[in-house]
Chain A
């Protein structure tokens, strides 16, 4: 079996890529997808540690992360549709209603 560090480094790189996406993109859906990428990087870490420590608990946590991601997808996309109805755009620069 491969060393644990390989999986952890891949997960860290994917997490950093997701961070770049969240910080630099202006399209709300792409930001959303970057967050999914970060969640998946964390899932990979959970599964790798679970396998190498011989403990199933990490994989159960992956299930809960997936549930939260599914809820987030439903609510987040509903929010985007509601925002698009008002502004005809999902550019995050235009989300300034609560800015002062």
Chain B
């Protein structure tokens, strides 16, 4: 009972701040609302017994990525949007988003879980620790994708330096 009350409070905050991200005219306000959404998602991860992911969510998303975005907003001195807002884009966008919402809602709620459950449950998480479970899987089964990720990061570093240098 208490858990569901807490869940609905956090979900309401997440959705309202998500709406604010889209509707705020000033990009700084959007960015700060997005930080609130990220924190709400971190709370969800804690409720789903994934504390390590919650910490990573706060450090990587609310820390690194949002600082980068706010830094760029302030560097470019982006003002609030002015001028006409195109009505047809608004209407079309809302209709398409509503259709997507209906479709995802239907897809996510209509199916039933048919596969057997895996070994991870609350007792195992409490016993072994969430970080250890993630580490074992990451450096065991997913070692090759993990190594390829480093290549992706290297490409991103080079790309960012090349794109943002003096002459493009």
- Report A's interface with B, CB cutoff 8 A: 1-2, 4-27, 29-30, 32-34, 36-37, 40, 43-45, 47-48, 50-57, 59-60, 62-64, 66-75, 77-82, 84-86, 90
Contacts and interface: CB of A to CB of B under 8 A. Distances in A.
Interface size band for B? 35 or more
Interface in B16-39: 18-19, 21-22, 27, 30-31, 34, 37-38
B108 A81 contact: no
Given A47-B45, A79-B163, A12 B27 contact: no
Contact of B4 (A2, A14, A71): A2
Contacts, number: 218
A74 B81 contact: no
A22 B96 CA distance: 11
25 contacts: A12-B101, A12-B108, A14-B37, A15-B101, A16-B104, A19-B96, A21-B21, A27-B78, A34-B21, A40-B61, A48-B48, A51-B120, A52-B113, A54-B120, A56-B118, A60-B137, A64-B145, A70-B153, A71-B152, A73-B65, A75-B159, A77-B68, A81-B72, A81-B76, A82-B168
A33 B48 contact: no
A69 B168 contact: no
Nearest to B34: A33
B109 A64 contact: no
